[in-house]
Amino acid sequence: MNFRIDLPTKLALVLLLWICAFAVSWEAQVVLVLLIIMSRFAVPDFKPQSRRSARAFTRFLIYSFAVATFVLILNSLLIRGGSTFGSIGGFSLYQDGLFFGIRTASRLLLLTFAILVFFISTPLKDLIRYLQARGLSNSFALILLLTLHFLDQLPARIHQIFLAQQARGAPVDAGFISRSRALFSILSPLVLSSIVESIDRGTALELRGFLHRPTSTEESQSSPGQRNVLTLLILFLSLIVVLYTIAQWLLG
Amino acid sequence: MAARIDILSLSLRYSDTALPALDSVSLEIPQGGCVGIVGPTGSGKSTLLHTLSGILGKHHPEVVVSGQLCIGSDTFQGIPREVLFPTVGLVLQDPFIQISGVRDTVTEELRFTLENLDAAGQGSDQLIQTMLSSLGIEHLADRAPTTLSGGETQRVALASILISNPSVLLLDEPVTALDATAQNRLRSILKSLRGRTTVLLTDSQIDFPMSVCDTIVVLDRGRIEACAKPAELLLTGKLLTNVGGSEHWSSLVTPLNQPSSRRPGPLNRIRKALGLP
Amino acid sequence: MLKYIRERFAEELTGPALPFVAFCIALNLTAGQITAALKIPLYLDSIGTILVAVLVGPWSAVLCGSTANILASAFGNPAMMFFIPVVAVIGAFTGYVAKLGWFRKWYLVGLGGILQGVLAAIVSAPISAYLFSGVMMSGTDFLVLYFRSLGNTLMDSVLYQGLASDPVDKLVSYAIVFLLVRNLPLRLLSRLHGAVNLRTPDRAQ
């Protein structure tokens, strides 16, 4: 038995947080959101794996603050009930709308931050290999890994085509209609070259026997001694929350 | 173990074209031999390799075929309709395409082939190390395949096929993007495979095949125009004159008959490579 | 059911389809770079999904769209995860109409784009309303605000906003893909499963 934060633990945590986003009060959701944000800085297993992930987190933090504020204001303006507590531009802000906005915003933040912290702290290739070891088909795994490969190459390729088209006079800076035509002069060679490359790559994969590759048969937990107690605890907690919520709903 | 290849009057035509891609091709390639197929663009060189690998038959079921093909102990009426890997390994013209793009290191790239064969278990590390050493790329073991030069990628692509121990190795224009040093390295590798693997390579220039192959086959518009040992081709000017009858052979044949006075012509380079006077 | 799904995927995901679907997922995530460089107010974030739907098939298109949204979440926009049902519907519907041969005729492409937009608006409305209160931090938020100020419920406002903008957006994406694929040689496309849906008696090989 071991007690550590590994990939299955993180997945279980995301599940628990998503359940809480619909099952617990907004106060508890706000606390959970703050805990998630703090864990990004304080818990090594939740720290960003790269600078890009760290920047993505910071950008989303600012963006989510803006979204939450907008949700609060919008609902305070439009859901008229309870007493007013302020005004914006002559329009009154209502308490009922504010509380509805808080509930919506807290749920949204909990849902989004749970996934975000999972992804920034988990290298995608590790996630793909984990899924593959647990039965994800070789074809799907290959698609995911090739996508990461293309995501590295595509911006440079688009830029090259853009420059090449600009050099032969494509109207990239002209009026809207001309620029729309220029869109095709970039998309067309991009799509055509991708189809040609896909055919060649597909052929190359077949020539290396990929399509007849056997599916991985690795067991998720090969022996009881390797089970992660933390993962099991979190899953158990998720079950308790679900049952409690159902019981509350049934009992009115 | 190397496999013998026998091609008997093989003709192949795509259903939507009148002209055949291969026209009554007959060829015997001995076990462990090395044959070079030369010809201009569109002569059918790649078509022949793709046919032998099985990839053409699989993806173009509509092709009209006649003749017979034997690879090792397998006989095909017409052409194989399934990819024959690992019996037949094909290294494509563009080595960058052959690299899977999903592995972080050269070692893992080779392991990808073994995983496809369900042979990535015990002993695979040793096998990979041996393959890297035999191709002189052990220093690239931990490098990312996407950061390699053309020549290095070519050798990794070759290793990724050779690790499956094919009986037949097909190389589609392997020296197109290689400098002289890289070509020399490839020459050494192919010579080391002599007897162990049957090799068939294509090229649109005659220099490289002449220096490494036992037999040269000249292909033009799907037909075999000549088939001889390099020395015979070199010394029998008459044969080359006959082959050079068609216009688009001039770039291949003319230099052999009329070497440039400003630099050592292809004829002299070939003579030197073969150790001839 | 699982066996049926596996068979459909096996049918569609042939050798060349695997890298092509991967390319289209990446295209969904980077197409915005092209429109931004040309200062065209389009996202084109479904263009890869529509391409896969037309050239490969509906199941692969669902995979393409879903994976693009998951990766978008992974790269810093976690809200995209919740719109997976929307992109799945885009992929499935487009693949289905492509199978019916709608991508052979421009007027059917137009009709398909509008229907697709309506469908996308209907599927995205509850997600946008319930989870996001209709707030997406884009220009369309003002449309939602406008409809709400007319006395409509949140759900209705989000639906009306979707119906006002999604059909136009999807029509443009469909048109772009139609214009892209109609001039591609069929012999090249024939290695992809869906290419047969583009074949017409007069279309040159």
pLDDT tens string, chain C, 205 residues long: the values are 888 888 888 888 888 899 999 999 999 999 888 888 888 877 788 999 999 999 999 999 999 999 999 999 988 888 888 999 999 999 999 999 999 999 999 999 999 999 999 999 999 999 988 888 777 767 777 788 788 878 888 889 889 988 988 898 899 899 999 988 887 877 778 788 888 877 766 654 4
pLDDT at A224 > cutoff 70:
no
Residue B261 confidence class, pLDDT cut points 50, 70, 90: very low
Residue A192, chain B, CB below 8 Å: the answer is no
pLDDT at B20 > cutoff 60:
yes
CB contact at 8 A, B2 and B165: no
Place of tokens 């990819």: B83
CB contact at 8 A, C147 and C157: yes
Residue C205, chain B, CB below 8 Å: the answer is yes
Ramachandran bin of C119, using left for φ above 0, alpha for ψ from -120 to 50, beta for the remaining angles = alpha
Quote ipTM for the complex: 0.89
**Mean pLDDT on B173-194:** 87
Taking the mean position of all CA atoms in its chain, how far away is CA B212? Answer: 11
- In degrees and rounded to multiples of 5, residue C171 shows phi and psi of -60, -45
Q: What does the angle CA C169 – CA C173 – CA C176 come to, to the nearest 5 degrees?
A: 140
Put simply, the answer to whether C34 touches A162 (Cβ < 8 Å) is yes
In a mutational test of the B interface, the residue from A142, A208, A215 whose CB has the highest number of chain B CBs within 10 Å is A208
Least confident of A19-23, A72-76, A117-121, C26-30: A72-76
pLDDT at A245 > cutoff 50:
yes
- Closest CA relative to residue C166, chosen from C127, C129, C202, C113: C113
- Which residues from A are below 8 Å from C25, CB to CB? 143, 147, 150
pLDDT at B274 > cutoff 60:
no
Cα distances (angstroms) measured from residue C22 to each of B46, C15, C30, C47, C58: 27, 12, 12, 13, 15
Check residue C78 and report its DSSP letter.
G
For residue C109, what pLDDT is reported?
Answer: 93
Same domain? For A111 and A180 the reply is no
Query: How far apart are the C-alpha atoms of B254 and B205, rounded to whole Å?
Result: 12
Least confident of A102-106, B88-92, B249-253: B249-253
Which amino acid makes up residue A144?
L
CB contact at 8 A, B140 and B148: yes
Question: In terms of DSSP bridges, do strands B34-38 and B198-203 run parallel, antiparallel, or are they unpaired?
Answer: parallel
- The rounded percent of chain B whose pLDDT value lies above 90 is 46
The Cα of A125 is separated from the nearest Cα of chain B by a number of Å equal to 9
Same domain? For A43 and A97 the reply is yes
**Cβ count within 10 A of residue C196:** 12
In a mutational test of the C interface, the residue from A151, A177, A188 whose CB has the highest number of chain C CBs within 10 Å is A151
Instruction: Write out the two tokens for A58.
Output: 């910071």
Residue B273 confidence class, pLDDT cut points 50, 70, 90: low
Selected residue with higher pLDDT from A32 and A174: A32
pLDDT at B246 > cutoff 70:
no
Taking the mean position of all CA atoms in its chain, how far away is CA B210? Answer: 13
Query: How far apart are the C-alpha atoms of A98 and A85, rounded to whole Å?
Result: 9
Instruction: Write out the two tokens for C59.
Output: 């199941």
Same domain? For A189 and A242 the reply is no
Which chain A residues in 214-233 lie under 8 Å from chain B, judged by CB atoms?
214
Same domain? For A79 and A96 the reply is yes
**Mean pLDDT on B178-197:** 88
Q: Mean pLDDT over all residues of chain C?
A: 87
Ramachandran bin of B136, using left for φ above 0, alpha for ψ from -120 to 50, beta for the remaining angles = left
C-alpha dihedral sign at B94, B97, B98, B101: positive
- Which residues from C are below 8 Å from A149, CB to CB? 22
Which amino acid makes up residue A129?
R
For residue A221, what pLDDT is reported?
Answer: 40
C-alpha dihedral sign at B252, B258, B260, B263: positive
Residue A216 confidence class, pLDDT cut points 50, 70, 90: low
CB contact at 8 A, C49 and C65: yes
Q: Mean pLDDT over all residues of chain B?
A: 83
Residue A63, chain C, CB below 8 Å: the answer is yes
Check residue B24 and report its DSSP letter.
E
CB contact at 8 A, A80 and A95: no
Taking the mean position of all CA atoms in its chain, how far away is CA C26? Answer: 14
Same domain? For A123 and A231 the reply is yes
Same domain? For A44 and A73 the reply is yes
Residue A31, chain C, CB below 8 Å: the answer is no
- In degrees and rounded to multiples of 5, residue A111 shows phi and psi of -60, -45
CB contact at 8 A, A179 and A170: no
Boundaries of domain holding A102: 1-129+223-252
Residue B229, chain C, CB below 8 Å: the answer is no
- In degrees and rounded to multiples of 5, residue C28 shows phi and psi of -55, -40
Residue A1 confidence class, pLDDT cut points 50, 70, 90: low
E strand or H helix at B12: strand B5-13
Residue A121, chain C, CB below 8 Å: the answer is no
- Which residues from C are below 8 Å from B16, CB to CB? 187, 205
- Closest CA relative to residue C34, chosen from A168, A149, A162, A194: A162
pLDDT digits (tens, 9 = 90+) for A6-15: 888 999 999 9
**Mean pLDDT on A89-107:** 85
pLDDT digits (tens, 9 = 90+) for B27-36: 999 999 999 9
pLDDT at B259 > cutoff 80:
no
**Mean pLDDT on A132-139:** 87
Cα distances (angstroms) measured from residue A117 to each of A5, B55, B72: 13, 45, 57
pLDDT at B207 > cutoff 90:
no
- Closest CA relative to residue B107, chosen from B136, B158, B135, B145: B145
- Which residues from A are below 8 Å from C179, CB to CB? 184
Query: How far apart are the C-alpha atoms of B208 and B273, rounded to whole Å?
Result: 9
**Buried residues in B160-174 as b, exposed as e (16+ CB within 10 A):** bbbbbbbbbbbbbbb
Where in chain B is CATH 3.40.50.300? 1-87+168-230
Which residue is closest to A212 within chain B, CA to CA?
Answer: B116
The Cα of C185 is separated from the nearest Cα of chain B by a number of Å equal to 14
Least confident of A217-231, B66-80, B172-186, B235-249: B235-249
The Cα of A182 is separated from the nearest Cα of chain B by a number of Å equal to 29
pLDDT at B49 > cutoff 70:
yes
In a mutational test of the C interface, the residue from A7, A187, A211 whose CB has the highest number of chain C CBs within 10 Å is A187
Angle between helices C58-74 and C47-55 (to 10 degrees): 160
Residue B236 confidence class, pLDDT cut points 50, 70, 90: low
CB neighbour class for B140 (10 Å; exposed up to 12, middle 13-18, buried from 19): buried
Which residue is closest to A205 within chain B, CA to CA?
Answer: B100
For residue C177, what pLDDT is reported?
Answer: 92
pLDDT at B244 > cutoff 80:
no
Class of domain B1-87+168-230 as given by CATH: alpha beta
Asked, as a colleague might, if the bond just before B86 is cis with ω within 30 of 0, I would say: yes
Residue B267 confidence class, pLDDT cut points 50, 70, 90: low
Residue B191, chain C, CB below 8 Å: the answer is no
Residue A249, chain C, CB below 8 Å: the answer is no
Question: In terms of DSSP bridges, do strands B223-228 and B215-220 run parallel, antiparallel, or are they unpaired?
Answer: antiparallel
- In degrees and rounded to multiples of 5, residue B41 shows phi and psi of -60, 135
Same domain? For A113 and A21 the reply is yes
Same domain? For A118 and A195 the reply is no
For residue A104, what pLDDT is reported?
Answer: 87
Q: Mean pLDDT over all residues of chain A?
A: 85
Number of domains in chain A: 2
Put simply, the answer to whether C191 touches B16 (Cβ < 8 Å) is no
In a mutational test of the C interface, the residue from B16, B59, B97, B116 whose CB has the highest number of chain C CBs within 10 Å is B59
